Structure 1
Amino acid sequence: MKAAEKRLVEWLRDAHAMEEQAEQMLKAQASRIENYPEIKRRIEQHIDETANQAKQLESCLSRYDESPSTVKDTTGKMTAMGQALGGMFAGDEIVKGCIASYAFEHMEIASYRILVATAEEAGDAETKRVCEAILKEEEAMATWLEQHTPQAVHQYLQRDEVPGADAKR
């Protein structure tokens, strides 16, 4: 196996763990959102995309007779649980969630750009195609968050002014 192929397999495993973490994080976030239905709908849509992305990465790995890393996947899920627990105690959870999601999307974007370049270097056109498609979904989610976060902040600040209103989620 060439160096580019070895790294591709390694980074595909990392990406799979990243998607497992994202799915857990998004599910926890969506389950607590009560007052921001547009954000909740988009997160739920992205949960479906994320689960599909993990399956596509598994398919890429299987072409190399490899599978996802159980250790990396478990670590990612545990990290997501910690993030979810931390969010529960933030008084501005919806705003912190938007920040965390936006940052995470950009980490995913960078990861898929690296995977696209590595797949090309390895001569793996199918993995390149898969990663380019996933990259577009991640870029779309990041753009959506960029466009809708100001509105969420505005709604949060309005709700925060009302005595007794739950603005955090």
Structure 2
Amino acid sequence: MEIHDMYLNWLRDAHAMEEQALTMLGSMSGRLVHYDHLHARVEQHIAETERQEKALRQLLERDSGTSLMKDLTGKAAATGQALGGVFASDEVVKGAIVSYAFEYMEIASYSVLIATARIIGDDEAIAVYEQNLAEEQSMANWLAQNMEATTDFYLRTLDSDGPEKRQE
């Protein structure tokens, strides 16, 4: 397989990853109404992710088009993850953990795309990947800095008919 073919495969993977992120974040957002700081940051990241998905789609359309199968697989996995947390009483904490791990998968993907785009000379794409990378790093850092506060709020409200119980 040629470098350019591998590059396009990784770009398709990144596009499917952002589609999956949109599904996961959208599902999570509606259940965070009692976590103001987390809800606001997730909404901000949804807007960033929408922009990222569009930019990746434009890069793909420039070369070969998106991969319907990868996009559908990513969406199905995200839906499964989102639905899996619906009945978990600690879904906010588990969602924060999964989101943090997912951000690092995105960070690694964009790092690979940047390195490959440099080798093949795709300067237009490098700018897109670098912006996406910075946004993913920012979200991962935010999650890390707020994990304790999110967990603390969840645990403090657990015995007092907490946010999850009020959402029913």
TM-score bin (small chain): over 0.9
For normalisation by structure 1, the TM-score amounts to 0.94
1:43-78 Cα shifts (integer Å, max 9, x gaps): 0111111111011111212232x1111111011111
Root-mean-square deviation (CA, aligned residues, Å) is 1.4
- Residue 166 (structure 1) aligns with: 163
Match status 1:93 vs 2:91: yes
CA distance in 1, matches of 2:107, 2:2: 23
CA distance in 2, matches of 1:167, 1:31: 12
Say which SS state the counterpart of residue 12 (structure 1) adopts. Answer: helix
Write out aligned runs for 1:123-138 (5 A): 123-138=121-136
- Residue 43 (structure 2) aligns with: 44
Say which SS state the counterpart of residue 33 (structure 1) adopts. Answer: coil
Write out aligned runs for 1:1-169 (5 A): 3-64=2-63, 66-162=64-160, 164-167=161-164
CA distance in 2, matches of 1:28, 1:8: 30
Percent sequence identity over aligned pairs: 48
CA distance in 1, matches of 2:61, 2:82: 31
* Alignment gaps of 5+ in structure 1: none
Say which SS state the counterpart of residue 34 (structure 2) adopts. Answer: coil
CA distance in 2, matches of 1:102, 1:129: 24
Q: Cα distance, 1:161 vs. partner?
A: 2.8
CA distance in 1, matches of 2:59, 2:120: 13
CA distance in 2, matches of 1:137, 1:165: 31
2:110–2:130: 8 Å Cα contact kept in structure 1?
yes
Aligned residue identity for 2:139: M
2:22–2:46: 8 Å Cα contact kept in structure 1?
yes
Aligned residue identity for 2:56: L
